[in-house]
Amino acid sequence: MSDTRANKRFRSQEWFDNPNNPGMTALYVERYQNQAFTRDELQGERPVIGIAQTGSDLTPCNKIHVFLMDRVKAGIRDAGGIPMEFPVHPIQETGKRPTAALDRNLQYLSLVEVLHGYPIDGVVLTTGCDKTTPAMLMGAATVDLPAIALNGGPMLDGWWNGKLAGSGTIVWESRRLLAEGKIDYEEFMSRVCASAPSLGHCNTMGTASTMNAMAEALGMSLTTCSAIPAPFRERMNMAYQTGRRIVDMVYDDLKPSDILTREAFENAIVVNSAIGGSTNAPPHLQAVARHAGVELDVTDWQKIGFDVPLLVNMQPAGEYLGESFYRAGGVPAVMGELKKAGRLHEDVMTVTGKSMSENLSGWESRDTRVIKTYDDPMRKNAGFLVLSGNLFDSALMKTSVISPDFQKRFLSEPGSEGIYEARAIVFEGPEDYHDRLNDPSLEIDENCILFIRNVGCVGYPGSAEVVNMQPPDAVIKRGVQHLPTVGDGRQSGTSESPSILNASPEAVVGGGLAYLKTGDRVRLNLNDSTLNALVDDADWQARIDAWQAPEIVSQTPWQEIYRTHVGQLSDGGCLELATTYQRVVRNLPRD
Ligand code: FES
Ligand code: MG
């Protein structure tokens, strides 16, 4: 035992070894020793490491963690800790209705309550599917116990007829082929299922790979952790190393508040642009930042991230999938290229106990087809635009997925570069969109923008991934794959759709989208990042005065609690009251 390990009193000893309250101590020890642990272990001055288990039969994206657990526990044991695995509320992106986003804050709450109320000295956060990563980081930030993120890794690459088939992205592509009549339902199903060949999370640079890259970019997981495919042996090694490392972090008292600094979030924003990351990253990182007590604003995404080039050639912005990304070096290779270009804060602390710069030593792209160099990128200025106007205070546009064809058709008319005027078509939600999209009386054509509202945090509830609406079948058959779309919901990180989304405030709380009507003219101006309804002020004011908030009907108690306390996407969609609780580990719960 090294000197730094001597005479350390752990938080868990307040439960298991507290002479001031022998009665309670006996009760704690008696029941924990009836399962796997001996009295010597529990009272032996060893840290208890919680492992927040997000994998289960209900959560296939994170199921790999059930099988990684032996390695995590072995690492914890070998480093002198006592592992205690516990479940948290499940979140499965493709399983939970009305949307998995509703449950991010519930998983967050359940983690906070467990970490605060049980004899735990440090925690391994198992992450993977979209919302599990931010929920775990948010909880760790609120509690501020030593914490380390271990993701399960992406699935192996999917293949269909000799071509890569990427998670989610193949759904959007095949949906259009189905609408065009080029494939039938059976082929549609086969194509989509081919994209999921193994355990793991989405193999595209969707929200899952993005958020795990964000965890690594923030310094919250070990170097290389995020991109290792789930079935690879390196994934099992990473599980073991993560278990070992968290024990040392407890001895060193290395906490999220030492790592989650403003500089770390700025690094994450830069990395997000370089990887072509998901539009879900801004609300999720915003939420982590708020729970960590770090100032971050939605406009920071454009200020810090817009002029960063796209380096990663991975679907949906590029062509490859997770296996190639990992072999090309994954996140440390991307960050190594960004570091060479001087785009990172290098001296930020990380879970390794070293600075980010030290972690990245020697890292650069190992395959420039997949990870480009900073001077020869996939495209320049690949970050998000943050738009505003009379329809919302803020909304995001992911520029890295805008196809040259779309750019040409919509944004570079001679004499009006970057400015696009169109007729608005307004849908009240996904059901209304599906019911009326092909209604000829709407006369939807290439000069329309599709709007969807009432699908934000309060409205849906939870904010639905529905803004990437496809055009009517007749328009697709004419060869137009995309129309501009706008909404107060989100869209899948695997979508290649050039949407304007996360509009805040949302319509049901009186945001500007609430007053738009089908047939209104709207103007998108990418030069000054605005989108406005071209309605005269008196008419607009009359609509505001006449507006009545739609009736909101919750189906479960949690939906009502969520709707009562949730903020807007631009503020991270947090439970607002929860953001006032910070570093709660400092206050020991009553015995
Ligand atoms: Fe779970 Fe994509 S659906 S990671
Ligand atoms: Mg999704």
List the 147-151 sheet strands across, edge first: 82-87, 48-53, 122-127, 147-151
Q: Which percentage of the chain shows pLDDT scores above 90?
A: 90
Atom nearest to 494 CA in ligand 1: 2
Domain boundaries, the chain: 48-157+197-360, 159-195, 384-546
Residue of minimum CA distance from atom 1 in ligand 1: 129
**CATH tag, 384-546:** 3.50.30.80
Instruction: Tell me what pLDDT residue 419 has.
Output: 87
Instruction: Tell me what pLDDT residue 410 has.
Output: 62
337 in Cβ contact with 302 (< 8 Å) = no
Residue 357: which H helix or E strand, with range?
helix 356-359
DSSP class per residue in 441-509: GG---TTEEEEE-S-STTTTTS--B---PPPPHHHHHTT-----EEESSB--TT-----EEEEES-GGG
Ligand nearest to the CA of 94: 1
Atom nearest to 130 CA in ligand 1: 4
Q: In a mutational test of the pocket of ligand 1, which residue from 62, 129, 199, 490 has the highest number of ligand atoms less than 8 Å from its CB? A: 129
Atom nearest to 167 CA in ligand 1: 2
| Closest of 405, 413, 487, 477 to residue 445, by C-alpha | 477
pLDDT in tens, 210-256: 999 999 999 999 999 999 999 999 999 999 999 999 999 999 999 99
Ligand 2: centre distance to CA 91 (Å):
11
Q: Is 34 helix (H, G, I), strand (E, B) or coil?
A: coil
Q: In a mutational test of the pocket of ligand 1, which residue from 58, 61, 156, 170 has the highest number of ligand atoms less than 8 Å from its CB? A: 61
Q: Is 54 helix (H, G, I), strand (E, B) or coil?
A: coil
C-alpha distances out from residue 215 to 137, 244, 260, 478, 580, Å: 8, 18, 10, 43, 23
Ligand nearest to the CA of 91: 1
Q: In a mutational test of the pocket of ligand 1, which residue from 58, 201, 321 has the highest number of ligand atoms less than 8 Å from its CB? A: 201
pLDDT in tens, 66-109: 999 999 999 999 999 999 999 999 999 999 999 999 999 999 99
Ligand 2: centre distance to CA 92 (Å):
9
Ligand nearest to the CA of 59: 1
Ligand 2: centre distance to CA 136 (Å):
17
Task: Return the residue matching tokens 């079935």.
Answer: 231
Ligand 1: centre distance to CA 212 (Å):
12
Length of the chain: 591
Ligand 2: centre distance to CA 384 (Å):
18
Atom nearest to 209 CA in ligand 1: 4
Give CA–CA dist 373/340, Å, rounded. Answer: 10
Ligand nearest to the CA of 92: 1
Give CA–CA dist 590/235, Å, rounded. Answer: 39
In terms of phi and psi (left: phi > 0; alpha: psi -120 to 50; beta: otherwise), the region of 79 is: alpha
Residue 52: which H helix or E strand, with range?
strand 48-53
Ligand 1: centre distance to CA 243 (Å):
24
Atom nearest to 60 CA in ligand 1: 1
Instruction: Tell me what pLDDT residue 1 has.
Output: 44
Ligand nearest to the CA of 155: 1
Ligand 2: centre distance to CA 101 (Å):
9
Ligand 1: centre distance to CA 322 (Å):
13
Ligand nearest to the CA of 99: 2
Give CA–CA dist 591/576, Å, rounded. Answer: 28
Reported ipTM: 0.94
Instruction: Tell me what pLDDT residue 418 has.
Output: 81
Residue of minimum CA distance from atom 2 in ligand 1: 202
Q: Is 140 helix (H, G, I), strand (E, B) or coil?
A: helix
Residues enclosing ligand 1, CB less than 6 A? Answer: 61, 93-94, 129-130, 167, 201-202, 206, 208
350 in Cβ contact with 255 (< 8 Å) = no
515 in Cβ contact with 543 (< 8 Å) = yes
Atom nearest to 93 CA in ligand 1: 3
Number of Cβ within 10 Å of residue 85's Cβ equals: 16
Give CA–CA dist 369/174, Å, rounded. Answer: 26
Residue of minimum CA distance from atom 3 in ligand 1: 93
Ligand 2: centre distance to CA 472 (Å):
23
Listed in sequence order, the residues at least 6 apart from 145 whose beta carbon sits closer than 8 Å to its beta carbon are 11, 115, 120, 121, 122, 123, 255, 256, 585
Beta-bridge mates of residue 125: 52, 149
Ligand 1: centre distance to CA 128 (Å):
8
Ligand 2: centre distance to CA 493 (Å):
6
pLDDT tens for the chain, 591 residues long, are 445 677 789 999 999 999 999 999 999 999 999 988 999 999 988 999 999 999 999 999 999 999 999 999 999 999 999 999 999 999 999 999 999 999 999 999 999 999 999 999 999 999 999 999 999 999 999 999 999 999 999 999 999 999 999 999 999 889 989 988 999 999 999 999 999 999 999 999 999 999 999 999 999 999 999 999 999 999 999 999 999 999 999 999 999 999 999 999 999 999 999 999 999 999 999 999 999 999 999 999 999 999 999 999 999 999 999 999 999 999 999 999 999 999 999 999 999 999 999 999 999 999 999 999 999 999 999 999 999 999 999 999 988 777 776 776 666 555 667 888 999 999 999 999 999 999 999 999 999 999 999 999 999 999 999 999 999 999 999 988 889 999 999 998 777 777 999 999 999 999 999 999 999 999 999 889 999 999 999 999 999 999 999 999 999 999 999 999 999 999 999 999 999 999 999 999 999
